Amino acid sequence: MARAWLTVKVELVGGRGEFLWPRPARVIAVKPSHTFRELAEAINDAFARWDRTHPHLFALEDGQQVVARGWLDEPIDATLDEITERLDRLSPDERFAFVFDPGDDWTHLCTVGPRKIDIVEVVGETPNRPIPIEGWGEIPDPYGRRWEHDDGNDPPPPPPDPPTLDLPPLMPGWGEEAFTAVPSGPPLPSETVGLWRPLAWTEEALRNLRGAVARRETPAVLSALVGRDPVEVAHLAAPGLLVALADHDVSARGYAVLLVDELRERWWDGDHALADELAAAAGTGEPTGLQGVAVDLDELATHLASGSPETESFRVHLPTGRFWPSDALLVAGEEPDDWEDDDRWLEVRSAGSADGWHDMSDFIGTLEDGELGERLDDAIRGRGAFRRFGDRLRPHEDEWTRWRRFKDERDLGRARAYLAAAGYRPEVG
């Protein structure tokens, strides 16, 4: 059957007089009708060889060799032509050798897999040539060069510090703008000397991000994230990132992969739901199974955080995202036509002030200023805690900005978790 392909594990034994251990390897899927020439090209691709002017050959178990006949001055009986010899001559578990550049003698052990695979199930389509489907180990340079202008005599150039400082700002943490030196102040402990930190989320940076997300402008969203810690604004940035992922933006995928791990480690309300959604959009996870609905996460967060569970209750119309008071007839004087259709509505009840108090307490635990922390800890005791907390924190401009970002992230995460628990997610777009 056309979808039944062979696998060939190719282990790099060594070259240039050195043997490698553990051996780097690539597993290559091949169709029985492919030729040895096509397999040779796939092996050289998989091992990053760009100079194909060197000869190569296959040595089979029966003593025959498969070669490009143009490399032989006089063909001999024990040679087969790689251009016409097909891979259907190979048997399960058969072993043979591949040699690239006999001068440097890059040798490989090739082992046919014990059974065939369904290529469509493995890679999702039927390729038109052999392709690597698995691999491990580092690949040495065929000429032994360690950097672009290595002549074998000079020491390597010093690495950038931090390692991504010299890169263009195409990915999170790349380039000069992604780093800023540790601020001046008290002497640093020895283990922090040379430490670099992400840029701070200033009010201006947050405004730029919110505007870009609201407009769904992918380049502006990614530009706003450059050099700053994306996990601090993960739920705020998520709509813009998900739009960018839908457009297959490479930089957005880099942020998504980074955020998935960090969100699962942070574990705030809604973090796992967002991590699963980002992983699915980036192609590194399974679909969440949640139904997309036209609900504004900011508005949902506001309703969940305001009022009390006893007095505040709303319903959100899932097809349109419009919020209605639970007693629509009494408050609004009308009820929508589909008011009784529970599948089109989600009950929204305020969680009261408990979550907000825990947010303040947790934020205090992040402060480096011990004196400020003590004053705020005292402020949240007893009635009027929210007002006193704000009054004492507001004069500290940087921490006040950080608190509002922290609070927004918590509220948005709880709103996302509320939707996910009901089987929904905010619609992208």
114 and 124 share a domain?
Answer: yes
| CATH number of the domain encompassing residue 51 | 3.10.290.30
The neighbour count for residue 141, using CB atoms within 10 Å, is 12
Please tell me whether residues 96 and 10 are part of one structural domain.
Answer: yes
Do 127 and 34 form a contact (C-beta atoms < 8 A)?
no
pLDDT of residue 330: 57
Residues 235 and 323 in one domain: no
Q: Do residues 328 and 339 touch, judged by C-beta distance below 8 A?
A: yes
Distance CA 171, CA 175 (A): 9
In the numeric block, the tokens 């922290």 are attached to 406
Structural domain contains residue 310: yes
Total domain count for the chain? 3
Q: Amino acid identity, residue 214?
A: A
The two tokens of residue 108 are: 């490989």
Give the domain range for residue 77: 4-136
User: What string of pLDDT tens digits covers the 429 residues of the chain?
Assistant: 468 999 999 999 988 888 888 899 999 999 999 999 999 999 999 998 888 778 899 999 888 889 876 555 444 455 788 888 999 999 999 999 999 988 788 999 999 999 999 999 888 888 989 999 999 998 887 777 777 777 777 787 787 777 777 777 765 566 776 655 433 333 334 343 344 456 788 888 888 888 988 888 888 888 888 778 888 999 998 888 888 888 887 778 878 888 888 898 888 999 999 999 999 988 888 888 998 888 888 888 888 877 655 555 788 888 888 887 777 655 555 677 887 788 888 888 877 778 888 889 988 988 888 889 899 889 888 888 888 988 999 999 888 888 988 999 999 999 999 999 989 898 876
pLDDT of residue 271: 93
Side-chain half-sphere exposure of 284, counting CA atoms within 13 A = 15
In SS3 terms, the chain reads as CCCEEEEEEEEEEEECCEECCCCCEEEEEECCCCEHHHHHHHHHHHCCCCCCCCCEEEECCCCCEEECHHHCCCCCCCEEECCCCEHHHCCCCCEEEEEECCCCCEEEEEEECCCCEEHHHHHCCCCCCCEEEEEECCCCCCCCCCCCCCCCCCCCCCCCCCCCCCCCCCCCCCCHHHCEECCCCCCCCHHHCCCEECECCCHHHHHHHHHHHHHCCHHHHHHHHCCECHHHHHHHHHHHHHHHHHCCCHHHHHHHHHHHHHHHHHCCCCHHHHHHHHHHHHCCCCCCCCEEECCCHHHHHHHHHCCCCCCCEEEEECCCCEEEECCHHHHCCCCCCCCCCHHHEEEEECCCCHHHHHHHHHHHCCCCCHHHHHHHHHHCCCCCHHHHHHHHHCCCHHHHHHHHHHHHHHHHHHHHHHHHHCCEEECCC
In-domain check, residue 153: no
What are the CB-based long-range contacts (under 8 Å, 24+) for 49-52? 49/100, 49/142, 51/142
Q: Is 413 part of any domain? A: yes
Contacts of 35 (CB under 8 A, 6+ apart): 82, 83, 84, 85, 86, 87
The answer to whether residue 149 sits within a structural domain is no
Owner of token pair 């070669």: 67
CB distance 38 to 28 below 8 Å? no
Q: Is residue 308 part of a domain?
A: yes
pLDDT of residue 353: 75
426 in a domain, yes or no? yes
Chain centre distance of CA 153? 39
Is 388 in the same domain as 255? Answer: no
Q: Say if residue 105 is in the same domain as residue 175.
A: no
Domain identity same for 247 and 330: no
Residues in the chain: 429
Same domain, 398 and 313: yes
Q: Indicate whether 299 and 429 sit together in one domain.
A: yes
Residue 343 falls inside a structural domain: yes
Please check whether residues 215 and 247 belong to one and the same domain.
yes
**398 and 350 co-located in one domain:** yes
- Amino acid identity of residue 259, one-letter, is L
**Is the whole-model pTM more than 0.75?**
no
